[in-house]
Structure 1
Amino acid sequence: MRRYACPNCSNEVHFRNSECVNCHSRLGYVPAWDQMFYASPDDQLWHDGATAYKACANRQSIYCNWLVESDDEEEHCLSCRHTLVIPDLSSDENREHWAALEEAKRRLFYSIEKFKLGVGDLVHQPDTALRFEFKADTLTPDGKTTRVLTGHDRGLITINVAEADDPTREKYRKAMGEPYRTLIGHFRHESGHYYWDHLVWNTPKLDAYRAIFGDEREDYGEALKRHYEHGAPAGWEATHVSSYACAHSWEDFAETWAHYFHIVDGLETAGWYGLDGHTPDAGLKRTPGGWSDAGPYGAAEFRPLMDAWVPLTVAMNAMNRSIGLSDFYPFVLSDTIFAKLEFIHGIIHDRG
């Protein structure tokens, strides 16, 4: 995530901000330009030369600060329009959870835009577009709970809104023995399944994928059953980025895909704050204030990313320990995991 400033007064603002705390300008983000625009408190539109923008229809309800061109018939921003189902808003808790989910999704869409991956055409080819449903568990008349399972099905990503509740998510994290579980992690993981369908399946990359991640034709249901019954094999840390990645080839890919997004976005943030931890000759262009416009999202080579990432994580882990927190980055990346991450890098950047 890059660093932003209020375009009116130059005070630092953050990706989620809809108002500058210094000059009180109304802020709006345009993903196509990766820029914050401003309007006075009394203006209804934001302007960039000849182009005018309006607020996303969700600005008031969930504080979405993304903008839409004023002459666009669509009332929702690029991110919000891809949500097809939202939870029952008669519950204040559901509204808060929905807002948190959409904020995390906007960060996913930020990365998708930076990588130029595309999200499909909701109007003309909706069945192949990236879509989301945010649902809550429900009680049946007999008092039983019908659980909503987070997952992916041919481009449709369903997320249980309970994942937006910090105590609930932490409970799941501990119960499943995970070192890391976040909303943005869910979005990045599930999007990996979507992009596997578009970038790997039925392409020349499939054989190379199977050589690195294993054969996806293994029965998925049986693989998950085995994983939940017996757990990951001993020594899984040497070959997989998480224990869940051991469950099936598809899950290994999705976990690695999410991890690659973590790395690249983390490096972009570190660069903009002068914490990138790599030498000027590491092969990644940077400006005195941080990365260049392309930054790590546009890095042609994979290894320079890792040369920057590894020392940064060592330093951040040490920083966390110095103030009594758990490790910022509780992972160890082996050569095998490097190869998987490099495959992800390749299919993102070598799409022809």
Structure 2
Amino acid sequence: MKLFQCQNCGQVLYFENTACLNCGFSLGYLPGEDRMAAVEADGPLWRAVAPQGQAEAETRRWRFCRNWELSACNWLVPAEDSQEADAYCTACQHNRTVPDLSDPDRHARWQRIEAAKRRLIYTLMRLGLPRPHPGTGDPEPLIFDFLDDGPNGDKKVMTGHDRGIVTLSLAEADDSAREKTRSEMGEAYRTLLGHFRHEIGHYYWDRLVREGGALEAFRAMFGDERADYTAALERHYRDGPPAGWENAYVSAYATMHPWEDWAETWAHYLHMVDTLETASTLRISVEPAIAGSGNLWTEIDFDPYAPRDAERLLSAWMPLTVALNMLNRSMGQRDLYPFSLPDQVQRKIAFVHDLVAGWRAAA
């Protein structure tokens, strides 16, 4: 994620900001223009204030997403795109089900889910991937259901994907509950954004692999997805991952079934491009001042959403993750990126990259 700037006062802004802490203007994200705008009310609508050095404000008018009133979105909708005062933005149009927000705790968890979802949608937009909304006539639109286990926990919600519908349990937005599950499951990594990236991977398997004519290439790289999924799931939780799995898979869960191997690899590809964009924005370079550290050197000075090939991403990613983990250890924290990327995993990441690049080139 890159940094933004207030066009009124020049203050550095973050993607989640709703007001400029320097000049006080309200802020809204313009997804079509990929920028944060300082806005002022103009009757029932909003307009962007005049940029620095200009006397006139922009003439276009906007509405805030309906979820802005619930402090759950800061995206803007062009006024001419909808006459409805309660219009949803392009990110929130994917929502089909949200929890009962009358309870403050559920409301707060949903807000955290929405923040992670907007980061996901930002990445999908930057990659140029298809994101059909419900009601567009697409046979498999992208839909989000955010569900609660219920007041007594008697209706267990499972996070997952099924034919375009991504379900996310509200419990995943509870940091203590999620950490407890992570520890019990023996997982090295578990985050809200990570869940989104994994589950959306299943959606894009349908789009890019099944519908994109890449099944045979996929099977050669990841294995045959026609293997019995239920049996694979039972075997994984009964026996655990096979010995030596670290040499070919990015995580233990990826060993369960080719679909999960793809989804875990996909999630890591999204981790890479988003984090590398942040590093590029900050002009981060890694150059250890020790002899023989050539393989730990990198200068991240390129757009990770449009590299020549996956090798450019991987050559920058490896030194950066070493640096991130070293910084975390200096703060007494566990590794921020507790994964390794052996050659076989790098080839899988390159496979994902090539499919995404191919889609974007053909679009």
Per the normalisation by structure 1, the TM-score is 0.91
Matches within 5 A, 1:96-107: 96-107=108-119
Native 8 Å contact 2:164 2:203 kept in 1:
yes
- Identify the residue that residue 54 of structure 1 maps to in structure 2: 63
Q: 2:208 aligns with which of 168, 186, 199?
A: 199
CA distance in structure 2 between the aligned counterparts of 1:249 and 1:180, rounded to whole angstroms? 20
Once residues 13 and 72 of structure 1 are traced to their aligned partners in structure 2, the CA distance between those partners, rounded to angstroms, is 26
Whether contact under 8 Å (1:39, 1:46) holds in the other structure is yes
Q: Runs of 4 or more off by more than 6 Å in structure 1?
A: none
Aligned equivalent of 2:311:
303
Structure 1 vs Structure 2: percent identity of aligned residues?
A: 45
Alignment match of 2:134 (pick from 122, 137, 145) = 122
Q: How far 1:126 moved relative to its partner?
A: 5.2
CA 1:198–1:144 in structure 2 vs 1: closer, same or farther (change >3 Å)?
Answer: closer
The answer as to 2:122 corresponding to 1:110 is yes
- Asked if residue 313 in structure 1 is aligned to residue 321 in structure 2, the reply is yes
Query: Quick check: 1:32–1:113 contact (8 Å CA) kept in 2?
Result: no
Residues 157-172 of structure 1: pairs in structure 2 closer than 5 A: 157-172=166-181
Q: For 1:42 and 1:129, how far apart are their aligned partners in 2?
A: 34
Aligned-residue offset at 1:24: 0.6
User: What's the CA shift for 1:348?
Assistant: 0.2
Deviation larger for 120-129 or 90-99: 120-129
One-letter code of the match for 1:128?
A: E
The partner residue of 1:335 within 343, 349, 359 is 343
- 1:77 and 2:89 matched: yes
Q: 1:182 aligned to 186, 191, 197, which one?
A: 191
**Distance of aligned partners of 1:324 and 1:30 in 2 relative to their CA distance in 1, 3 Å threshold:** same
- TM-aligned CA deviation for residue 317 of structure 1: 1.2
Amino acid at match of 1:45: W
- Structure 2 CA distance for aligned equivalents of residues 200 and 49 of structure 1: 43
1:29 aligns with 2:29: yes
Query: SS in structure 2 opposite 1:184?
Result: helix
Whether 1:325 and 2:333 are equivalent positions in the alignment is yes
Q: What amino acid maps onto 2:74 in structure 1?
A: N
CA distance in 2 between counterparts of 1:144 and 1:312 reads: 41
Q: CA deviation at 1:328?
A: 1.7
CA contact (8 A) 1:277 1:308 kept: no
CA contact (8 A) 1:149 1:158 kept: yes
Aligned counterparts of 1:160 and 1:86: Cα–Cα separation in 2:
10
Partner Cα distance (1:320, 1:157) in 2: 32
1:123 deviates by: 1.9
Q: Tell whether the 8 Å contact from 1:245 to 1:253 is kept in structure 2 after alignment.
A: yes
Cα distance, 1:127 vs structure 2? 4.2
Looking at structure 2, the residues matched to 27 and 276 of structure 1 have their Cα atoms a distance apart, in angstroms, of: 31
Amino acid at match of 1:46: R
Q: Structure 2 unaligned runs (5+)?
A: 49-56, 288-298
Cα pair distance change 1:66/1:258, threshold 3 Å:
same
1:34 is displaced (CA, Å) by 0.8
| Residue identity in the other structure for 1:298 | A
Corresponding residue for residue 51 of structure 2: none
Residue 202 of structure 1, CA deviation: 4.2
Q: Distance in 1 between matches of 2:61 and 2:103?
A: 35
Q: Which ranges in structure 1 are unaligned for 5 or more consecutive residues?
A: 279-285
1:134 partner letter: F
Distance in 1 between residues matched to 2:197 and 2:132, nearest whole Å: 17
2:41/2:47 contact within 8 Å kept: no
Q: Any conservation in 1 of the 2:146–2:168 contact (CA below 8 Å)?
A: yes
For the residues of structure 2 that align with 1:271 and 1:152, how far apart are their CA atoms?
A: 32
CA distance in 2: counterparts of 1:303 and 1:144, whole angstroms = 46
Whether 2:144 is the aligned partner of 1:135: answer: no
Find the residue that maps to 2:36 and give its secondary structure. Answer: strand
Cα RMSD of the aligned pairs, angstroms, is 1.8
Shift in Å, 1:265? 0.6
Residue equivalent to 2:292: none
Q: Check whether the contact 2:7–2:37 (CA below 8 A) recurs between aligned residues.
A: yes
Instruction: Show the counterpart of 2:46.
Output: 45
Aligned mates of 1:210, 1:68 — CA distance in 2? 41
Counterparts of 1:144 and 1:109, CA distance in 2: 30
Q: Are 2:279 and 1:266 equivalent residues in the alignment?
A: no
Alignment-derived partner of residue 10 in structure 2: 10
- 1:148 maps to which residue? 157
Shift of 1:329: 1.3
1:71 CA drift (Å)? 1.9
Distance 1:59 1:276 in 2: 37
Aligned partner of residue 88 in structure 1, secondary structure: coil
Could you tell me how far 1:135 is from its partner in structure 2? 0.4
